[in-house]
Structure 1
Amino acid sequence: MYAANAYNTYKNNSVNFASKEQLLLMLLDGSVKFAKKAREALLDKDVKESHKYLVKTQDIFYELMTSLDIKNAGNWGQSLMALYNFIVKRLSDANIKKDVEILDEVIPFIEQVRDMWGEAYKVSKGKA
């Protein structure tokens, strides 16, 4: 019981005191985790569970899309928005068709987005 409460306190503090960049990385880590859980659920033929995790993953990318300032981001912002749109569409396709192969196609893109932002964070902190 104590360990669970300690972990929850740690988790809450991690989110409450994280910088914007750290929150972004937490979201992206979550998107990878949720996409993989959706894949597992599809393999297990658990439609309800796969739907839940696919929607969670999509919601993260919708949030990323709404927070992207395309006007000030220039060409890379437009390219990033196109990638986010592609990911959301393929997640939707996977959900509608209950197709693991679509997830196998899109999960590497989700991981690349996470890794890209992770590298950008390291560079911004002078750690790269």
Structure 2
Amino acid sequence: MINSPYQKYQQAQLQTASPGQLLLMLYDGAIRFIRAGIKGIEEINHEKANTNLCKAQAVINELIAALNHDYPISATLYQVYEYMLHQLINANLKKNIIPAEEVISHLTELRGAWDTAIKSLNHNVESIE
């Protein structure tokens, strides 16, 4: 049950977002959770680190589930996402921020590429109309 106005806003945002916006939101969420996990490691708060790194893994699993295997790039993205999952598990088990920071770097780069592609696609669609 949604109680707060912020939760209602978030729900509405999710329900009205385009597929491209949802993809970017997944990337943003994963990055946010990894940063919180890193902070947990730095604070020696193992529960915080574990909870947030596991949430980031769940988001990456959603990215894997969303792959459209009709396109050859999906196989490459699948391998990249699997590598990221491995690095997050490693960071969580060893409480080492370096693998988590590497994943943030990859996610940030991929998010930027998707953002550019989505904007280009939207621009092209607007030009046709």
Report SS of the residue matched to 1:68. Answer: coil
Deviations 1:83-116 (A, max 9, x none): 1111111001111111112222221011112212
More displaced 10-residue stretch of structure 1: 38-47 or 112-121: 112-121
Aligned residues: percent identity?
Answer: 27
Alignment length (residue pairs): 122
Partner of 2:127: none
Partner of 2:59: 60
Partner of 1:98: 95
Partner of 2:123: 126
Deviations 1:26-58 (A, max 9, x none): 111111111111111100001011111111111
Contiguous gaps of at least 5 residues in structure 2: 125-129
Report SS of the residue matched to 1:73. Answer: coil
Deviations 1:68-94 (A, max 9, x none): 122x111x2221111111111100111
Runs of at least 4 residues off by over 6 Å: none
Distance 2:6 2:64 in 1: 31
How far apart are residue 6 of structure 1 and its match?
A: 3.5
Distance 2:86 2:35 in 1: 17
